Amino acid sequence: MTARLWTTSLALAWAVVAATQGAKAEELKAEVIHWWTSGGESAAVKVFAEQFAKAGGTWVDTAIAGGVNARTAAINRTVGGTPPTAMQFNTGKQFDDLVENDLLRDVDQLATEQKWRSTMPEAIVNAATRNGKMFAVPVDIHGQNWLWMSKSALAKAGATEPTDWDDVFPALDKLRDAGLIPLAFSGQKVWERNLFNAVLVGKGGNALWVAIYGKRDTAAAMSAGFKAVAETYGRLRGYVDPGAPGRNWNDATNLVIQGKAGMQIMGDWAKGEFAAAGQTAGKEFDCTILSREGGYVMGGDVFAFPKLKDPEQQKAQLLLARVMLDPETQIRFAQKKGAIPVRLDLDVSSLDACAQKAMKLLAEKSHQVPAQELLSPPAMTGAIEDVISQYWNTPSMTTDAFVAKVAAVLKDPY
């Protein structure tokens, strides 16, 4: 442990003592609703539970498969008067209604005390801030546009690892010719959108990304650059296998882990599955960002805390927030989850090669591309997702028709 890590951890220990003075350990129970149920995700959430227990708390796990299902359950319970202690959201606008209805507790005092605004990327801080106060605890940064590659599959096919979207197709062709699945894919709406977004930022560029999702610029949607993105995305349909529709994302990752598939576009949570399978970056698999501009689509997870009347539950919330951002917890969690720490002031030398690539990219603010969820309200994100899914699943739809549908979504008020 470095001197800085030891000092910070010691300070956390004293803060925990102060926060829990006079309270019995068994009273500091925290029911946490989350959707981390895959192998890598379960290993990661266990880090939070163990660290919370070491600090004197009791983690009550309420895992609900599927982000939409978990968020819906958490919101319904909060609105209905039986809220959990903490609940998971993606970094972005998913908890806006709860803030507007005065159902969430702000964590701004803790954010100021621990200097979150100077240790986290500005886009992440902004995504957790409403009316000048932070209402959620960011716990990680996930890069959404990673390309994962099986080194054994590429070797079998005689394919070279691609570095941008111009040379990805020759590699996919060789994988197909070798009898392998070229592109492991989860045919669900959210992952159809995730693949499209990887092409948008990687081929279209950072400025086009912001124009579409940030500025809602219909002229940008009608541009030649956006049409080229749509054409590239449509071309990828020919490289997925017949079993893709409805497949879970982690099952697609497992095809790459087994060497049955050559590549997958997925966020860095997929790295947790490689780790759970005992594989090492640079040995059995490799990773890259297909973007000449180094655009790193930066999302993540946050935990929000409903307003509670019970003083011991309020103490449990603060204790949980402190534990989640403790340096040791951040590093251990990132190692299991596949993410990188949300705090950029930590020693990350113990993290894997892919995480090191991510940290180097994020060191330059120009590479920090806010995820769609940070820029668009959920209704707009859902509408875009529907259009992308329709295009992916309707090969007869022309690029011009798709572009027109995207432009129509951008015009709608949200």
- Tell me: pLDDT of 9 over 50: no
Across the range 45-70, mean pLDDT stands at 97
Distance CA 310, CA 255 (A): 47
Confidence (pLDDT) at 20: 41
- For the stretch 368-389, pLDDT in tens is 999 999 999 889 999 999 999 9
Confidence (pLDDT) at 329: 97
- Tell me: pLDDT of 40 over 90: no
- For the stretch 324-368, pLDDT in tens is 999 999 999 999 998 999 998 999 999 999 999 999 998 889 999
Confidence (pLDDT) at 296: 95
pTM of the model: 0.82
- Under a CB-based contact definition with an 8 Å cutoff, are residues 208 and 220 in contact? yes
Give me the residue label for tokens 């899914």: 389
- For the stretch 128-140, pLDDT in tens is 999 999 999 999 9
- Under a CB-based contact definition with an 8 Å cutoff, are residues 66 and 41 in contact? no
Residues 6 or more apart in contact with residue 203 via CB below 8 angstroms: 164, 165, 228, 229, 232
- Under a CB-based contact definition with an 8 Å cutoff, are residues 324 and 334 in contact? no
Domains of the chain are: 3-142+298-368 (3.40.190.10), 153-296+374-411 (3.40.190.10)
- For the stretch 218-269, pLDDT in tens is 999 999 999 999 999 999 999 999 999 999 999 999 999 999 999 999 999 9
Residues 6 or more apart in contact with residue 127 via CB below 8 angstroms: 91, 92, 93, 138, 302, 370, 373, 374
Confidence (pLDDT) at 6: 37
pLDDT band at 10 (very low <50, low <70, confident <90, very high): very low
Confidence (pLDDT) at 27: 65
Residue 9, amino acid: S
Averaged pLDDT of the chain? 92
